[in-house]
Amino acid sequence: MDLLARIRDQSVGSWISTILVSLVGVYVVQTFRSWYRLRHFKGPWLAGISRLWLVRKISGGRFHLDFMEVNQKYGSIARIGPNDLVTSDPAVMRRMLAVRSPYRRSEWYVGMRFDPTRDNIESVMDDDRHTKLRSIMAAGYSGKENEDLEGTVDRNIQALIKLIRTKYLSTDAKSKPLDFGRKAQYFTLDVISDVSYREPFGFLEADADLHDYIKEAEKVLPAALMVTIFPVLNWVLQLSILKAALPSEKDPLGMGKIIGITKEVVAERFRENKKVQRDMLGSFIAHGLNQEDAESETLLQVMAGSDTTAGGIRGIFLYILMHPRVMSKLRAEISSSTISSPIQEAEAKKMPYLQAIIKEGLRIFPPLVGLMSKAVPPEGDVINGLFVPGGTKIGYGSYGIFRDKNAWGQDADVFRPERWIEESPGRLKEMESTLELVFSYGKYQCLGKNIAMMELNKVFVELLRNFDFNIVNPFEPLKLECHGVFMFSEMWLTAFEREKT
């Protein structure tokens, strides 16, 4: 019996060893094949055989700089994963994003689902479905069917001015610092909810992170980025045992609370005999968006639109404050211009230095820096003389594009608005074509661009008309982390009443 037992144990052990060796063999073969298919693209050695390099960088809070450094070291198309490339070449980006491009969204976009079981216009990968959604929603985003789009932005800017004046006005005798990073996001959240629902959430009025929305959203962003790298996690999240951990409209706080508010507003609009309102949500419904899609798309506006626009406002304003020469020239332009109070967008567009500041701010600090990878068509492609196999993912290297010294000059790392004024018309056209990539391009261009630009065209003029600002701590003006969008905190400023001249 002992002999039989030993023989049986040896057989089981041999069987287990065979399985382990086979599994290791399969892993080695798959790893080699994965490395081999993109071997002609250079990059960090670990990135060629494992997604661990990408995971480490994505979770590090500075991947926008990491990807730029990869492109600077290894070339305008470099390897960052077994099946992942990143490009800092604007021509490649335009080629992938063009209206008739055979490139499609990759599985990266699965991470953009707020509901793991349901797509929105930002996550949908089917081009026909994406095109249909854009056609339904375009009029709502453009503002053509909103009775008072510009007035809505104006009212919320005035609410921001009022908040600063009533609670945070400093004097020579007393300082009352404000965290502008938070106030800017309160402003953009109120604008987008007001544009969407005809009523702001009330962040500015409460001067608080209502329902802990911002706090909870910032916790979710890093996890969402992990899903962009490992799309299988989306299917894991659909398991009933894990669904309970996801935000729900029944939650009293966080993203769940905003989901609940959105669903309630949308449900009210779909009630029988309800009059269609002339706002963004009303436009979506009038053009045929069903109730579930209306909930999903309205929620996307709030979450994505507010974060990116707030990032743009905070970044550009910080650069203005840290460059006294720029501040002085902008103030002079404001003083010498015949503009309304509040300034109208048509007037702002006629102010060349203001426009140069906005363009330069978006260039040097693009607010959206996720990879947003596109999939190479099945037949493959040839880029810069190199064959790229079908199914390869090519990501957006934003900082590499907008800090490239060959494209922007040796002072590409410097905030210098004058570059948008002094260049020749032909060169300016090329620069503006590249800058368009901030809002994506072609068939994937951001639908919310018009609203975001309206906010940028107005908010700096109105803030500087009313107040003088100082940075509280010039050695550490803010705390910043990058998770596809920038998470700002501790952007402490003091505001003093501006003397009327």
Give the C-alpha separation, 303 to 382, whole Å.
37
Cα–Cα dist 161/342, whole Å: 11
From CA 352, how far away is CA 443, in angstroms rounded? 29
Which segments within 34-183 are labelled E, that is strand? 77-81, 84-87, 104-105, 169-170, 178-179
Identify which of 456, 458, 404, 396 has the alpha carbon closest to the alpha carbon of residue 430. 404
419 to 284, 314, 350, 400, 411: CA distances (angstroms): 40, 21, 17, 18, 10
Q: Which residues contact 233 (CB under 8 A, 6 or more apart)?
A: 226, 227
Sign of CA dihedral 311, 314, 317, 322: negative
d(CA 448, CA 140): 9
Under a CB-based contact definition with an 8 Å cutoff, are residues 76 and 384 in contact? yes
**Positive or negative: CA dihedral 181, 182, 187, 189:** positive
CB 194 within 8 A of CB 298: no
Q: Are 295 and 263 in contact (CB under 8 A)?
A: yes
- Give the separation between CA 487 and CA 227, rounded to whole angstroms: 19
Instruction: Count CB-CB contacts under 10 A for residue 355.
Output: 17
Q: Are strands 467-471 and 492-497 parallel, antiparallel or unpaired?
A: antiparallel
Q: Say how far apart CA 297 and CA 280 lie, in whole Å.
A: 11
Tokens 């010294």, located at residue: 405
- What long-range pairs does 486-489 form, CB within 8 A, spacing at least 24? 486/311, 486/314, 486/315, 486/367, 486/369, 487/218, 487/221, 488/181, 488/182, 488/184, 488/185, 488/310, 488/311, 488/314, 489/179, 489/181, 489/182
Q: Which two tokens stand for residue 114?
A: 């707020």
Q: What are phi and psi of 114, to 5 degrees?
A: -80, -30
DSSP for 153-191, written as a single string: HHHHHHHHHHHHHHH-EE-SS----EEHHHHHHHHHHHH
Return the amino acid letter for 323.
H
482 annotated ligand-binding residue: no
Helix (H) / strand (E) containing 225: helix 213-229
Binding residues for heme: 446
Binding residues: 446
